[in-house]
Structure 1
Amino acid sequence: MKNVKTTITIGGIECYAFHGCMEEEGKIGSRYLVDVQIDKNVEQAVFNDELNDTVDYVVVNKIVNEQMAIRSKLIEHVAGRILKELSRLIPGEKAIEVKITKFNPPVNGNMHHASFTIKEGLN
C-alpha cells in the first residue's frame, strides 16, 4: 500500500464530572462527551493484527477518565491535560486531537452544549 494515512477515532467517551467555574458545578456535576482522534501510522497493524502496532483504545479511555475525574474550572484545561498525557504515552510521530463537550452548561438561557477542541502534532 502506498501513501496510506491511518486515523484512529475513539468517540463518545461518556463521563460525569464536576468541572466549571461555579461552586454548584463542583457539587452537582454535569454530563460530558470526549472524542479523541489520533493520526498515526499504524499500517503494520493492518497486516499483522497485533495490538502493539496500533493505539490501544483501553489505554486512551483510561487516560480520558482519569483526567476527567480531576476537577478543573475550564474544559480547556482538562483537554490540555488529556492531550499531554496521550502525547506522552503514545510513541512515535502522531497528531492528536481532543474534543470535550459539556452538556447543558449553566448560562442565562438555553444552551445544549459547549465544546472545546485542541490538536497537537503533524501538520
Structure 2
Amino acid sequence: MAPFTGDRIILNDLGFYGYHGLFSEEEKLGQRFVIDLQCGVDLSAAGNTDTIGHTVSYADIYDVVRETFEGRRTRLIEALAHNIVAALFEAFSDIEWIIIRVRKPEAPIAMVRGEAAIELHRARPA
C-alpha cells in the first residue's frame, strides 16, 4: 500500500494545555493546543471479526499522544509533532503511516482570528 492511502484511525480536535513554545510567556503561562491525527492501519481484520485484537485501540493511541505531549517541553511544535509520531510508531507496530497536525489557537502573533499550525506526513521507517 502506498503511504497515506487506505484505512485509517482518526482522532480529531484533541485538546491539551501545555507549556511548549519559544517565548518565556509560553513556558510560564502555557496555552491550548489542538491535535488532529490520522494513523494508517489495515482495518480489514477488525471489520471481518468484530474483535479488538485485530485493530489498534484509539484509546491507547490517545494515551500515547497525551503522555508524549505532557512528557517533555519543546520549543517548536514541529518537534512536539515529531516526538508524538516517534512514540506512536514505537508503541504500535501495526501503524504504517501517520498524518499529524498540531494547532496553536493562541499563538503569540497579532491575529484576530485563526490559529497557527504545522502538519507532518510520516511513513514508518524501514
TM-score, reference length from structure 1: 0.87
- What's the offset of the Cα at 1:81? 0.3
Q: Contact 2:56–2:94 at 8 Å: present in 1 too? A: no
**Mind listing any 5+ residue stretches in structure 2 that lack a counterpart?**
1-5
**Amino acid in the other structure paired with 1:106:** P
* Residue in 2 that maps onto 1:37: 38
1:87 is aligned to 2:89: yes
Q: How does 1:96-107 map to 2 (within 5 A)?
A: 96-107=98-109
Percent same amino acid among aligned pairs?
A: 25
* Mean CA deviation greater in 60-69 or 104-113: 104-113
**Mind listing any 5+ residue stretches in structure 1 that lack a counterpart?**
none
Deviation readout 1:52-99 (Å, 9 max, x if unpaired): 211211111111111211211110000000000111112146111111
Pairs aligned (count) = 118
Q: SS at the partner of 1:88?
A: helix
Q: Contact 2:39–2:95 at 8 Å: present in 1 too? A: no
* Residue in 2 that maps onto 1:115: 117
Q: How does 1:41-60 map to 2 (within 5 A)?
A: 41-60=42-61
CA RMSD of aligned residues (A): 1.6
TM-score, reference length from structure 2: 0.86
* Mean CA deviation greater in 12-21 or 92-101: 92-101
How many Å separate the matches in 2 of 1:109 and 1:99? 20
* Residue in 2 that maps onto 1:21: 22
* Residue in 2 that maps onto 1:73: 75
